[in-house]
A and B are shown apart, each in its own frame.
Chain A
C-alpha cells in the first residue's frame, strides 16, 4: 500500500481533479488485476471486470472518505462487488478437463507461459472449488497481503469471521490438494 499520508494527498488531488487519478491507477492496477483474475480465472472476463472496477472508482472517487477504511479496501470492495455481480449474472463457470480456462492467460500473455507451472494450475483449480468468501479471504490475505482487519472491511464481516474463513479455507484447500479432487464445490 502507498504510504498513507502520501496516498491521502494523491487521493485528494484526484478528488479535486479526476485527471490526477493516474498514480492511483498505476499503483493499484496490478493488485486489482491479480485479485480479479484469480477469482474469475479468465483473462477476458478479468479485463472486463478490472475496467469496470476502475471506471467505478474514478466515477465515485469524490465520494470516498477516509473514515473507516483505506483506499485499498475501498478499491478491493468495488472489485469484489464486480466479481459478485458477474457470478450473479452467469451460471457458475464449470471446470472441465480441457483446461481451457486455465490455459487462457498463457495464450494471451506469452510471458506467463514460463511462470505457469502445474502446481499453480492445480492450486488455482483447488481454489476455485472453495466458497466465494473463502476464496476472497485467502486471496486477499495471502496474495494481496491485506490484514485481517482490512479483509473484514472488504467482506463486510467481523475479524473473527475472517479468521474462521481463513482457517476453513486453508483446511479445505489442503484437503483438495491432497485428494486431487478439484471439481467438488465446498
Chain B
C-alpha cells in the first residue's frame, strides 16, 4: 500500500483549520479501518471456477459472439426481407420460376444438353456429382423433380436412405420435360426444401406458398388442461425458526423481481435477434429462469402473416427437484405470450399443459402464513430466480385432505432486512 497523503485540495474546501483537522481525523480513522478478508476457501473456489471458465470454449467464443450475432442478424433480416418480397410479389416469383422451368425444358427438348447416361448407372458408379457437368446437370434436375413429385414428406433419414438406394423411381428422361411444366401450385411441396442440397432451382417455387395466418406451435398439438378437484392449501412458511418456537410473523413483505441480465458480450445499444438462442437465453434469464451452460434449449422460429413467432423449449440441467420442460410461446415485439410445460406422465397424462406466468403464480404468496422467531420482526424477501419443478400440495375437497403432485414454481430468494438468508418458496404453477 502506498503511503497515505492527506489531500491538500480538500482543505481548500474547509472553512477553518479546525474543520480541516476534524476531517483529517475522520480520514485517518477510515484509513486505519482494517480491511476485510474473504475466506480463503471462497477465494480459491472462485479462482478455480474462473480458470475453468477461462479454459472452456465458451469463454474463447465470447469475443466471437458479437460477430456471430451480426451474422445471425443479417440472416434474420435477409429471411424477413426475402419473405416480404415474396409476400409482396407472389406473381412475379411464380412467373420467374415457371420461366426458368420452361427455359430448361426448351433447352432439353432441342437437344442442347446431351441426354444423360442412365441415372441408375450414373448414380451408383459416380456418386460425386462434380464430374461431367452437363450430364449431371440434367440428372440433378431429374432427381430434384423426382423428389418434388414422388416423395411424400419424409424423415431426413428416410430420404437419405432412398437416395442411397439408387434412382430406380426416376422417370425416363424423355418423360421429364412435360412434367416440369406442371404449374407450381399443383406440385406437392416438400416440407423442408432448404434441407435438400441437390435441388437448387425448383425449391424457389415453394416460396410462393402463402404464409400461414397464425403460428402453429408444437404444444398445441397435444394440449391438455389440469382439472384439480378441490382447493389447494399452501403450507405455512417457517423462516429461521423451529416449528415449536415459531410465532406468527405479520410484518412480512415478499417481492418477485427477476434478474435483468445484460449479456456482457454486448454493448449497451446491441439487442439480440429474435428467435436466436442468445435471445432465448436472455428472455429466460430476464424472466427469472437463469440459463446455464448445459441446459437444454430449443428454439423454433416461424414466420406468419402476423409476424415472427418462436416456441422455446427449456429444461435446466441442474435443479433442486425434478426439472420440467418449460415451453414459451413468444412473438416478436410482444414478448412472451404464454407458458406451458411438457408433462411426461408423472403427474398427469402426457402432453402440454398451460401454466401461470411466474408473476401470476407469485401472487399466491400473499395468502401464505409466515412464522418467525418474533412477531415483530420485519422480514422482507426478494425472489429473483425461479425453477419449474414438481411439488406435492395439500388438496382439500369436501373436508377431505389429500396430497396431489403438481407442477410448481420454486422461487429462490433472500431475506433482505437481516441476514440475507436464502429461502425457497414452492407455489403451484398450474393454470386451472
A and B associate: yes
A residues lining the B interface (CB < 8 Å): 18-19, 21-22, 25-26, 29-30, 33-34, 37-38, 42, 44-47, 50-51, 54-56, 58-60, 62, 89-91, 93-94, 96, 98, 100-101, 104-105, 108-109, 111-112, 115, 119-120, 123, 138-139, 141-143, 145, 148, 163-164, 166-167, 170-171, 173-174, 177
25 CB-based A-B contacts, threshold 8 Å:
A18-B54, A18-B60, A19-B51, A25-B47, A37-B36, A46-B36, A54-B50, A56-B264, A59-B264, A89-B257, A89-B259, A89-B384, A90-B257, A91-B416, A96-B418, A101-B419, A138-B30, A142-B31, A142-B33, A145-B1, A163-B9, A167-B13, A170-B23, A173-B30, A177-B29
Query: What sequence of 0s and 1s flags, for each residue 413-430 of chain B, a beta carbon within 8 Å of any chain A beta carbon?
Result: 000111110000000000
**Residues of B contacting A164 in the complex (Cβ-Cβ under 8 angstroms):** 13
Q: How far is the CB of B418 from chain A (nearest CB, A)?
A: 5
Asked whether, in the complex, the Cβ of A58 is within 8 Å of the Cβ of B50, the reply is yes
A112 and B39 CA atoms in complex are apart in Å by 10
Q: Which of B1-33 contact A (CB under 8 A)?
A: 1-2, 4, 7, 9-10, 13-14, 19, 22-23, 25-27, 29-31, 33
Q: How far is the CB of B251 from chain A (nearest CB, A)?
A: 12
B112 sits at the interface (CB 8 A): no
**Residues of A contacting B37 in the complex (Cβ-Cβ under 8 angstroms):** 30, 33-34, 109, 111-112
Instruction: Evaluate whether A123 and B382 lie within 8 angstroms (CB atoms) in the complex, with A25-B47, A62-B63, A104-B420 already known.
Output: no
Asked whether, in the complex, the Cβ of A104 is within 8 Å of the Cβ of B9, the reply is no
**Residues of B contacting A29 in the complex (Cβ-Cβ under 8 angstroms):** 38, 43, 46-47
**Residues of A contacting B38 in the complex (Cβ-Cβ under 8 angstroms):** 29-30, 33, 37, 46-47, 50, 109
**Residues of A contacting B31 in the complex (Cβ-Cβ under 8 angstroms):** 142-143
A55 and B1 CA atoms in complex are apart in Å by 26
Instruction: Evaluate whether A104 and B13 lie within 8 angstroms (CB atoms) in the complex, with A138-B30, A174-B22 already known.
Output: no
Range, interface on chain B: 35 or more
A106 and B255 CA atoms in complex are apart in Å by 29
B residues lining the A interface (CB < 8 Å): 1-2, 4, 7, 9-10, 13-14, 19, 22-23, 25-27, 29-31, 33-39, 42-43, 46-47, 49-51, 53-55, 59-60, 62-63, 255, 257, 259-260, 264-265, 378, 380, 382, 384, 416-420
Asked whether, in the complex, the Cβ of B417 is within 8 Å of the Cβ of A93, the reply is yes
Instruction: Evaluate whether A112 and B419 lie within 8 angstroms (CB atoms) in the complex, with A19-B54, A174-B22 already known.
Output: no
Q: A25-B47, A59-B265 are in contact. List 18 more A-B contacts (CB 8 A).
A: A18-B54, A18-B59, A33-B38, A33-B43, A58-B54, A59-B62, A59-B264, A62-B62, A91-B382, A94-B378, A101-B418, A104-B420, A119-B29, A123-B30, A138-B30, A142-B31, A166-B10, A170-B27
Asked whether, in the complex, the Cβ of B36 is within 8 Å of the Cβ of A89, the reply is no
Instruction: Evaluate whether A45 and B36 lie within 8 angstroms (CB atoms) in the complex, with A163-B10, A170-B23 already known.
Output: no
Asked whether, in the complex, the Cβ of A170 is within 8 Å of the Cβ of B26, the reply is yes
Instruction: Evaluate whether A21 and B54 lie within 8 angstroms (CB atoms) in the complex, with A163-B9, A174-B22 already known.
Output: yes
Asked whether, in the complex, the Cβ of B420 is within 8 Å of the Cβ of A44, the reply is yes
Point out which of B2, B14, B25, B47 has the most chain A C-beta atoms below 10 A from its C-beta. B47
Asked whether, in the complex, the Cβ of A21 is within 8 Å of the Cβ of B50, the reply is yes
Select one of A38, A42, A115, A142 contacting B420, CB under 8 A: A42
**Residues of A contacting B418 in the complex (Cβ-Cβ under 8 angstroms):** 96, 98, 100-101
A55 and B191 CA atoms in complex are apart in Å by 44
Q: How far is the CB of A124 from chain B (nearest CB, A)?
A: 8
- Tell me the nearest residue of chain B to A120, going by C-beta: B33
- Tell me the nearest residue of chain B to A108, going by C-beta: B39
**Residues of B contacting A101 in the complex (Cβ-Cβ under 8 angstroms):** 418-419
**Residues of A contacting B25 in the complex (Cβ-Cβ under 8 angstroms):** 174
Asked whether, in the complex, the Cβ of B51 is within 8 Å of the Cβ of A22, the reply is yes
- Tell me the nearest residue of chain B to A110, going by C-beta: B39
A62 and B419 CA atoms in complex are apart in Å by 37
